[in-house]
Structure 1
Amino acid sequence: MAAKLKLFLFTFCFLFALNKEANGALDAKTQVLINLANKHGPYIGLVVPSLSQLNPLLRHPSFISSGLTIDHGGKRFRFGIIESQPVILVFTGVGMINAAITTQLLLSLFHVEGVVHYGIAGNANPSLNIGDVTIPEYWSHSGLWSWQRFGDGPNNELPLEENGDYTRDIGYLRFAHYYTSDNETAGNVTHDNFLNYIWYQPEEVFPVNGIPEERQHAFWVPVDSHYYTISKELEGLQLDYCVNITTCLKEKPKVTRVLRGTSASIYLDNEAYRSFLYGKFTVSPVDMESASVALICYQQGVPFIVINGLSDLAGGGSAQSNESATFTTLAVTNSIKVVVAFINLLRVFPWALPYVEN
């Protein structure tokens, strides 16, 4: 009798907890709306860092709203059609964590066949200009570091390196290289610096098609090969080059596919670090969200691509130019123009099309 009572109480408590968890995580009304929405998928997920970058697309003539919005987890998912393609639009908020949470919610809740992340970025590539729209082939998170103690150097093993937790394979930044004084210039310095070295680290990733809890590592995450191939068709697209009748760019902007972009939860407005990132990693756009979207899509096995309008020179311009305040609207406009054209390409070059090497 006692055993049966214990079993009953255990079962009751388990079902109560399960029901409470389910109601707390996803209420019945929201679940019904999600089920309804998924019947009209699959969707292209459009992931955007801010409302100021989302609202212009919502007002774009190519976007037709279905009238459905679903709120969950502090996020609002908006449904509609762009160029005959069902889409879900959601803005993340600033930074790597917000972008990762939002992308995971999007992929967990909805039937999404691909993700397009678009927005603005700083430019680290001296051959590119403000207003250009970049489409990188690879993304990295360059804000994950192992910070080495003072006195150690490149030949000293990092803590936990032997366990595979940290590595020196990717490389480092040595702060002493950027010491300056009235009589010295950066790059010709012998002085040491207590900040010493930071070593760039790959992310731990756990792909859904892998063994649970068996970690892999990724630093450079490739965008989807099919998406990247068809994006070449965008390189002749005409972009805007004037903010208004009095403020125009000196160079007409262009759409260009580039090798790499990088992200960190850092607003980069520093010429020395901008130059270091380009020299070390050959990156073009630098932003605060794209690598999170890349890593989540990579782990979930969902195709993705990133489209960035370059709004500033990440510290490479003059102190007076204040490029981002001047050219953000133009960069957003151009990125949206490219996004709409890309979604149209998905209709012209459907997902079933085999990948063709350049």
Structure 2
Amino acid sequence: MPAEHLKRRSNYRHFSCSQSCDKMIELPSPLFCFIGSDLPTPPDLSISANPISPSRSIPSTVQSAGMFVLPLKTNTPVRMMAMASQKLYGRRVPPSFAFFLAFAFAFVPSSALLSRQAHYGLAQRVNADGPYIGLVMADADEEAALVATGLFTPRTDLPPLEFSGRRFNVGDIFGVNVIYVKSGERRMNAGVTVQILLDVFDVCGIVHYGTAGSANDSLTVGDVSIPKFFAFTGSWKWTKATHAYGSQTAELEFGAFNVPMKGNNLLGKVEFQSEDFFSDGHEMEEVFWLELHSAWYKAAEQLQDLVLERCINETCLSEHPKVIAGLKSSTADIFVDNAAYRDFLFQTFEVSTVDEESAAIVMTAMSGNTPVIVFRGVSDLAGGAAAAAGSAANHLSASLSDLAYVNSVNASIEFIRKVGSSSMRTVSSR
């Protein structure tokens, strides 16, 4: 809109907004703001870009101007309504009629909104048969391992429900209500997915399974870890090489890994940072380790005698892999394939497994006091075998890595069978 239009309309209250795909029309007091997109610009009206979205509160600048906002979806085809004191494309609109049309258009839902409402309606039907165990995996291979067991039976009367691009599959395992979802890899995807699962569905607990790298020489490919402690080890404060202050958690000095000899390094060092942890009924606290205390963890400890698969793709281990509970797990948005860093994590934090999602899932569940348990199958050695083992050990690790998918999902299913059958209402016949 040319500047002269703004100057000519002295009875307008105008404020500047940053650029956005949304547009806002300003009318004389009392002012009405309609949010939409691809809207025609009336020649006599001031239009400016507006960052207001339906999910955000009205800025104080808007409130002080005597405005209120009718939040319309940005893809809703809305025509601007003008007050009687203004002309809209050469025609005057009676104030009462403009007021009526304004509210009529304000409550016309978009197709996206209707779709979302339909899915929420289906979720209510699902919740009527709850509660459910939420089963979360990160990637397609981990999902395929579940499907391959044939033990998840989807409901035939409901399609998978989609929220924010995630597909939530409703069914049962051994008669126990289960909703499983693929979160996507790394912390953000995992945390967001679990929060949606907890917000939308009647979920009594979260079971997470997947693969992990081993930072502990006592764990080998095919073993399954049930961690009791979880830490984010990818949250760093990167300092100068001359930084002298010590970290409250731990430090990684790059100079200590110089070859052929240790010394200073321009990369300096990183200090590992704690996380802000919010939970129901408690003040925010800074934590480095998240520790499981729930009855679910005690139940999972009883699976240490579970017999796991030792053969896959016609290749077999010399002995059966084992289930080990009580270890420490490291989560970061980093795929660890470096022997030196692997050893550093184990020696500094006594970390046994490294992955990209577990701590985010645990923190999200614990924030709402929801029981959570994690099963991580060892798929690799997070940097390869020791130098003495050579390439043969690395080749063996690669050929047997799929055991991590199979054994972690089998441990998860056995946990669901034992916990679900004794503490949850099972699905009714349909």
The equivalent residue for 2:195 is 104
The equivalent residue for 2:63 is none
TM-score (norm 2): 0.70
Does the CA-based 8 Å contact 2:133-2:205 persist in structure 1?
Answer: yes
Give a deviation string over 1:302-333, Cα, whole Å, max 9, x none. Answer: 11010011111111414561566422321111
Picking from 216, 230, 234, the partner of 2:303 is 234
Give the secondary-structure state (helix, strand or coil) at the position aligned to 1:152.
coil
Larger Rg: 2
Counterparts of 1:22 and 1:218 in 2: how far apart (Å)? 43
Q: Percent identity?
A: 34
The equivalent residue for 1:334 is 407
Give a deviation string over 1:11-49, Cα, whole Å, max 9, x none. Answer: 973365796699659722111111111111111111101
List alignment gaps of at least 5 residues for structure 2. Answer: 1-28, 34-65, 74-105, 426-430
How much does 1:97 deviate?
A: 1.3
- Letter paired with 2:30: K
Q: How many residues end up aligned between the 2 structures?
A: 326
Identify which range, 311-320 or 270-279, moves more after superposition: 311-320
List alignment gaps of at least 5 residues for structure 1. Answer: 156-167, 353-358
Aligned Cα root-mean-square deviation (Å): 2.6
Matches within 5 A, 1:159-238: 168-181=247-260, 184=261, 189=262, 191-210=263-282, 215-238=284-307
Does the CA-based 8 Å contact 2:221-2:403 persist in structure 1?
Answer: no
Counterparts of 1:313 and 1:297 in 2: how far apart (Å)? 28
Give the secondary-structure state (helix, strand or coil) at the position aligned to 1:139.
strand
Does the CA-based 8 Å contact 1:137-1:228 persist in structure 2?
Answer: yes
Does the CA-based 8 Å contact 1:71-1:77 persist in structure 2?
Answer: yes
Does the CA-based 8 Å contact 2:190-2:357 persist in structure 1?
Answer: yes
Counterparts of 1:104 and 1:118 in 2: how far apart (Å)? 17
- Letter paired with 1:262: S
Does the CA-based 8 Å contact 1:312-1:323 persist in structure 2?
Answer: no
The equivalent residue for 2:376 is 308
Picking from 228, 243, 255, the partner of 1:137 is 228
The equivalent residue for 1:14 is 70
Q: Label 1:262 to 1:16 Cα distance change in 2 as closer, same or farther (>3 A).
A: same
How much does 1:351 deviate?
A: 7.3
Matches within 5 A, 1:1-358: 6=30, 13-14=69-70, 16=72, 24=113, 27-67=116-156, 68-155=159-246, 168-181=247-260, 184=261, 189=262, 191-210=263-282, 215-245=284-314, 247-317=315-385, 318-319=390-391, 321-322=394-395, 325-347=398-420, 349-350=422-423
Counterparts of 2:184 and 2:332 in 1: how far apart (Å)? 14
Counterparts of 1:294 and 1:106 in 2: how far apart (Å)? 13
How much does 1:237 deviate?
A: 0.9
Give a deviation string over 1:136-183, Cα, whole Å, max 9, x none. Answer: 10111110011112211245xxxxxxxxxxxx21111111111112xx
